[in-house]
Structure 1
Amino acid sequence: MHRIAIVDDSVLLREGLGRLIEEAGFTLAAAFGSGAELLAAMPGLEVDLLIMDVRMPPTFTDEGLRLAIQLRSNTPRLPVLILSQFVESLYAQELFANGQGFVGYLLKDRLVSIDALYDAIERIIAGGTVLDPEVVSTLINARQDPLVWLTSREKDVLGAMAEGLTNQGIANRLNIGLGTVEKHATEIFSKLELNSDTHDHRRVLAVLTWLRKSAHVDRFGQPG
């Protein structure tokens, strides 16, 4: 039975999400109102997934994402789900840049069903990467340089890949043939320098590649 901890400053969200987690058969290991509370409990905390907000005390800006990055720098395969109302593109890029999987970023207001949340939890714990389409769009638009070699259609396919769509799913969404999708995918992998022997996450790694390539640029857009 998977053990899950929640980190969110909203009491109502912590309690409501906690009930949903337990109703789904997961174990609510703990719930915290701030990153400081989580860090204080970490030495003795055993969890299979952390669900974290972006904006938390004390400044209510990007504490959650920075804490997630800190935790995953120590434990790269620590499963983390960012569940927030906001997309913070700079630190989100760093969160996904190691390409290890076990991570997700969903927007609270865009969750279409409770089952979608449960599915995301299972996929992240299993080592997958889950991205809301709006998060994908924001991240892609935030850093254009690594995508300069991709055509507009290839960018559409890349975004759909990051959402986890199969080739057939991409074909259906974009109203193009399956063979065309496969051709675009091959071009994307080639242009982003993803080897043919990349493992099962290569669709998501296609997005993560340009994140890694832009990691040398600091938050002010200047070479670091």
Structure 2
Amino acid sequence: MTDPSQNLTDLLDLARRFAPRGVGVGVADPTQSPATVLPEEAPAIATAIPKRKREFAAGRRAARQALQSLDLPAVAIPKGTDRAPVFPTGIAGSITHNRDAALAIVAPQTRFRTLGVDVEPQAPLKPELIKAICTPDEAAMLATLPETERLFLARRLFSAKEAVFKAQFPITRQVFGFQAASITFNALRSGFVATFHRDIASISAGSTVSGQCGVAGGHILTMVTLGAVVGTENANFPVCATG
């Protein structure tokens, strides 16, 4: 029988391995009750169903844990008018959660302009979602694989796009479809490059951004960091990613 607490520990360990120096990481269990949040955060879930409240609260606990890992105050993380979490001034951050895990990463913007993270269950994607998520080339690539491998890789591809889109949002403040960028994994599928296919605000068509992807504790984890220091990963994005 799988131990949920061990799964979260394994997920945290993988996130810490992925996170560059200067990025704090936190995890929390969204199955815990009650869904306690700070007063500034409460309006975001005032009318939410219990499951949504638990996941939101776990995401905020993970974010505060991540802040504390960098010796920063464990402050409230309210939801902005654009639905994105509002981190303290000068702090970049990203939160992800599902029914079994919540994870957050944070960093000073003097070192990282933006961050993107996503956690998905290590489970096959529903076949009917492939058309909505994949570009024609991605769908053609997946079609060459056996069904089980195809659907697991499709889930990983979805997670990579989620992390990329979270990382770019503070730059563009735009939401767009999955067809706007494509994912190319390395041979081990432990890393990827996302290529944008159209102009989106300051992101020009052809721009690329790289990220990491892995599996731990029954979850797929993807992470994208946009460095603010010369020589760090993606420091020049959206002009040209360092890859």
Structure-1-length-normalised TM-score: 0.31
Q: Which has the higher contact order (CA 8 A, sep 6+)?
A: 2
Structure with greater helix percent: 1
Structure-2-length-normalised TM-score: 0.30
Structure with greater strand percent: 2
